[in-house]
Amino acid sequence: MALEQATEPATAGPNGPAAQPPAQFSDPTAVLFRNGLPSLTVPLPSDEILKRLDAAARRGNLAGFKNHASEYLFEVEAYTQPFDHRLLAKAAGADGGTRLSFRPRMFRKAPLIFAISIVFTIWPGLPLTHSMLVTYFRWYHWSSAITAAWYLPLTVLPLLWWVPRAIRKSRAGAVEAAKEQILRLKDLLNGTLTQG
């Protein structure tokens, strides 16, 4: 019994079969996010926006929604690793509606906790390491200043490489999370995305 394979014929180009378009062109919203975060124009006043978003947050459809009484109208979470961000939305009037512009901002608490934990783990580790070396290795008879001369570079120098890398990674992740949140806001508020 012969086996037949059903395939669609591929249109061949000069260099073989036609290639699929890149993902950036298959997603119509990718163009809007290419030069930063777009603005969202909503045909609703600010108070109605807050009511709708509060209702969506209570249903579990909008993570970290908080109403602001400052220059920003509201904020939502922009989860990323290792330092979380929030997405702040500023409102301005626009043609019978509201124009929301967005800005990601890192939570100050996470880097502060990280810095405090580093200080309270590296510095107490110096006398502990020195006392263990003197106690368990008879050949180690140097002072604690000599231990500090190799211990501190081994523990601090990798941080000088890791911290900027972690911040760049967090910011890139925050932009991706912001994109997801902005698209969710667009659907919740029946808005229109525009660049700028």
When the pLDDT of each residue in the chain is averaged and rounded to a whole number, the result is: 84
pLDDT of residue 35: 77
By percentage, how much of the chain surpasses pLDDT 70? 84
CB of 87 closer than 8 Å to CB of 78 = yes
- Split at pLDDT 50, 70, 90, the class of 14 is low
Low-confidence winner among 14-18, 75-79, 119-123 (lowest mean pLDDT)? 14-18
Distance CA 162, CA 11 (A): 48
